[in-house]
Structure 1
């Protein structure tokens, strides 16, 4: 059946929601077999991944009613899952942290959720699993852009033909802007080829930024180890700079790493890439090493940046 009119689109989204909540077993508003509601599980997730976060900040980020959030916090406190202390700047607000018991509970919940999704994916072929996760990423990117980013650009998952565009544009852009020779284009081609040959949909991803259907930027999330993710090949076309594309790509990459279970993230860049370095710093990365080298026909200073997730 064609989905053309707004009523058809609404019906299709509602049908998908019914299917997906049934598939995940959340019709009772609890996550899997756990005693926690979906909202409680999300609060636990935020507490497990962010230190000393304010309750109000969690509420704003998750869109929770203050009264409902207060009841969740009170329940967690009574169960010994969290500690809370007044914020110095506003003693009506609280900083929250998980206790050792809370972290243990979250670890069990997280592993249970991991196992349930693994069981759902197990019957699928590798191609079908890739199609599924790419479709999910597309849904997330489209809806997230509508919520938090200007309509001028959107992020989507990579597809056939994108690697050629990345190689061509990276080579041309860095030659024009910094005088790098063709050996850099060769490096980008090697990275893209390795990404495609060894692609692990559960741990890796590429996002392409588009304006009016035209690619204007890219970033890659690749597996460095079971615990460490690597951000690679961030690039934004000149005509799209100033729209927040680079920041959105980096934030999406960080969020993608968290969702895929990494505990740390790293990247390698050059000291002359001032705009990119500014984005990395504001996103939470810290410079941990710098070393002069000669590559791409230039004398450069390579930098390693890292962040805990």
Structure 2
């Protein structure tokens, strides 16, 4: 059995190479400057990110994910609480702890920072040809995997990419399989999704519409799409996650990508249609300010269901 080397045994040339990359990366990304030209530290923005994408979560969850000192985190949370950015409620998992979530005001503070971060990442990637961007993303995922501490859970960083040929067939398949297995819906639903997908492909407007495929370790695990309903209104469609991708905040991340795209394109409102029994998806929509506008019982896919229309003013 090969025992791990001690720090003193590591080749100094390898240490020098890693430090050189760290200096290069911090300079290119501006990590030594005020973060994203805001009044926040990098750590504070990381806390906001966790609250935006993994809420509700406890202070213990935040400490574990971000490796933060308890006192430092407490000071950050006091500041966020005094500003009205965080809400606290009794945890449904452990009644001894408080579950933390962003308020609408907190989300309004975080979303512009998130968009600026996306823009900065896009600025770094834009000069590279598409093939080289794919190589870089794969290399980064490999580096993260190699640097994970032995015995700790993998962080499961997902890659969101544009749809490719064959992906839309996978979207139909996933809807058919998952909704049959988890909700007992019959093939009528798969037929409906196939019709929606066919229409989206035939009528796709690349300027005003976009879709994302989520991957974990090179495997497709999720999708979501923004389609144009009018000059001022967009529709969120076909949000789905495979069981392997749940609990990672990926549904929230996909939804946030849709909202950021819609806002950037000047849409004033986003709508979506869902069903009352899809509780996980409905929670994601509600946390982002979507409001239930209309509901109606109906018989479909072999079940008695309640269809719902949700909307968000952008």
Q: Tell me the TM-score range normalised by the shorter chain.
A: 0.5 to 0.7
Deviations 1:265-284 (A, max 9, x none): 7542456xx5xx24325656
Q: TM-score, normalised by structure 1?
A: 0.53
1:190 equivalent to 2:192? Answer: no
TM-score normalised by the chain length of structure 2? 0.52
Residues 25 and 83 (structure 1), Cα distance of their counterparts in 2 relative to 1, 3 Å cut: closer
Report deviation, 1:255. Answer: 1.9
Q: Does residue 1:205 correspond to 2:212, yes or no?
A: yes
1:268 to 270, 273, 296: 273
Q: 1:24 deviation in Å?
A: 1.1
| Aligned pairs, number | 272
- SS across alignment from 2:213: strand
* Residue from 127, 134, 137 that aligns with 1:135: 137
> Contact 2:251/2:284 (CA < 8 Å) preserved in 1?
no
State the shift of 1:171 in Å. 8.1
Cα shift at 1:256: 3.4
Cα offset for 1:23?
A: 1.6
SS in 1 for 2:154: helix
Distance across 1 between alignment mates of 2:304 and 2:254? 30
DSSP 3-state at the match of 2:35: coil
Which protein, 1 or 2, shows the higher relative CO under an 8 Å CA cutoff with sep ≥ 6? 2
Secondary structure, counterpart of 1:64 in structure 2 = coil
CA distance in 1, matches of 2:43, 2:176: 47
- Secondary structure of the 1:147 match is coil
**How do residues 138-217 of structure 1 correspond to structure 2 at under 5 angstroms?**
139=141, 147=154, 156-158=159-161, 160-166=164-170, 169=173, 173=177, 178-180=186-188, 182=191, 184-192=193-201, 198=206, 204-208=211-215, 217=221
Gaps of 5+ in 1: 1-6, 237-243
CA separation of 1:193/1:218 partners in 2, compared to 1, >3 Å: closer, same or farther? farther
Cα 1:299–1:218 change in 2 (3 A) is same
Q: Which residue of 1 aligns with 2:244?
A: 245
Match of 2:223 among 211, 216, 219: 219
- 2:298, 2:307 within 8 Å by CA — same for their partners in 1? no
Q: Is the 8 A contact 1:267 1:306 kept in 2?
A: yes
In structure 2, the partner of 1:279 is 280
* Structure 2: stretches of 5+ with no match in the other structure: 1-9, 264-268
Distance across 2 between alignment mates of 1:16 and 1:85: 39
- How far apart are residue 65 of structure 1 and its match? 1.6
Q: Aligned pair in 2 of structure 1 residues 18, 209: CA closer, same or farther (>3 Å)?
A: same
Q: Does 1:37 align with 2:76?
A: no
Distance 1:84 1:190 in 2: 41
RMSD: 6.1
Deviation at 1:165, TM superposition (A): 3.3
Preserved CA contact (<8 Å) 1:163 1:192:
no
Q: Within 2, Cα distance between the matches of 1:68 and 1:95? A: 16
2:294 to 289, 295, 298: 289
Q: Distance in 2 between matches of 1:182 and 1:96?
A: 38
Q: How far is 1:106 from its partner?
A: 6.3
Shift of 1:187: 2.3
Distance change (3 Å), C-alpha of 1:287 and 1:133: farther
Q: Is the 8 A contact 1:235 1:246 kept in 2?
A: yes
